[in-house]
Amino acid sequence: MDNIRHVISVSGGKDSAATLLLALERCPREAVVPIFCDTGNEHQAVYEYLTYLEQALDITIHRLKADFSEQIAAKRRFIARDQRTRRVNGRRVRWSNKAKRRALEVLHPTGNPFLDLCLWKGRFPSRKAQFCTEELKRNMAVSFQIDLIDADYRVVSWQGVRRDESLNRRNAKKIERIGPSLYAFRPLVEWTAMQVFDYCASKNLRPNPLYSQGCNRVGCMPCINVSKMELREIASRWPEHIARISEWEHMVGCVSKRGASTFLTDSHDAADRREVFADLNIHARVDWSKTSRGGKQYDMLAFLEPVACSSAYGLCE
């Protein structure tokens, strides 16, 4: 039917690549609309893989990027004018003049969605407050789909979700009506990771090279939910990403009222934020990732250079 658009959220990973292949196989080409929500916290290999997909499949992937300039401008106004007198637990709520000066110097849009989101919020996302997914991916995809619905299309949102991926996804439905003219379709719900790789291989589509370099999923580099082993692998292979996160920690710390914020976890009961930062900043976490036995002993294997494929999926040929 002419008024249906099949929107495929492409992440640069295997599941969304397989989903895109299925959509192109089953639907008229002109009705397939691939999108990519760029978080700005991606590995270069992801952008290169998107270009590869476009060339291999003869398609265009729409790049969507969140913009937080207005929110940052509003926060600047708020901080500059903050004169609150209220106290909570004996502590003043308002920004001190010193904190105001520190924040206003740094608080400007950078054009990087992930960093600008954290500058606006004055903190990094965490497992308990995972606002990155919502602000950088979900909201972007939903507003793209709403624009299509406003233009009189019915939209099917294809999602590369598998039930065996996580407990949260174990009950994922294959087809679901989300709202008027909007449906979710998850063709891979019953597939395993290996089936996905095999299917892509059967269509001569190569996987993102990050899978053969120690990543068991492709997403932010690093993700706030990165495992100890992945963090160790990232620090060893791509130290420039650790250096970038360290720079972001400095910037986000400056716009935080408390003066410090860490990328990997922001929940720490110490009252002194400098102590928290010293324990949990990205370099301290990388050091911890190289330890074994509850973080006490250094694991000698961690100091060896990565020389071979360490894919969690055994993709090495």
Q: Which residues would be at the binding site for ligand SF4 (CB under 6 A)?
A: 39, 125, 130, 132-133, 136-137, 219-220, 223-225
**What's the min distance (Å) between Cβ of 125 and ligand SF4?**
6
Q: Could you write out the DSSP letters of every residue in 243-268?
A: HHHHHHHHHHHHTSTTS---SS----
Q: Which is nearer to ligand SF4, 133 or 246 (CB)?
A: 133
**Dihedral Cα 71, 143, 25, 13, nearest 10 deg:** 20
287 contact partners, CB below 8 Å, separation of at least 6:
none
Whether the bond between 222 and the residue before it is cis, its omega within 30 degrees of 0, is yes
Q: Which is nearer to ligand SF4, 193 or 224 (CB)?
A: 224
**What's the min distance (Å) between Cβ of 163 and ligand SF4?**
19
Do 187 and 19 meet the contact criterion of CB atoms below 8 Å apart? yes
CB atoms within 10 A of CB 195: 13
Q: Which is nearer to ligand SF4, 79 or 264 (CB)?
A: 264
**What's the min distance (Å) between Cβ of 252 and ligand SF4?**
14
Separation CA 218–CA 196 (nearest Å)? 14
Q: Which is nearer to ligand SF4, 136 or 242 (CB)?
A: 136
**What's the min distance (Å) between Cβ of 224 and ligand SF4?**
4
Q: Is 301 exposed, middle or buried (0-12, 13-18, 19+ CB in 10 A)?
A: exposed
Q: What is the β-pairing status of strands 4-9 and 32-37?
A: parallel
What does the buried/exposed string (b/e) look like for 95-124 if buried means 16 or more CB atoms within 10 Å of the residue's CB? beeebbebbbeebebbebbbbbbbbbbbbb
Q: Which is nearer to ligand SF4, 33 or 218 (CB)?
A: 218
Q: Which is nearer to ligand SF4, 79 or 219 (CB)?
A: 219
Residues linked to residue 297 through DSSP beta bridges, in sequence order: 292
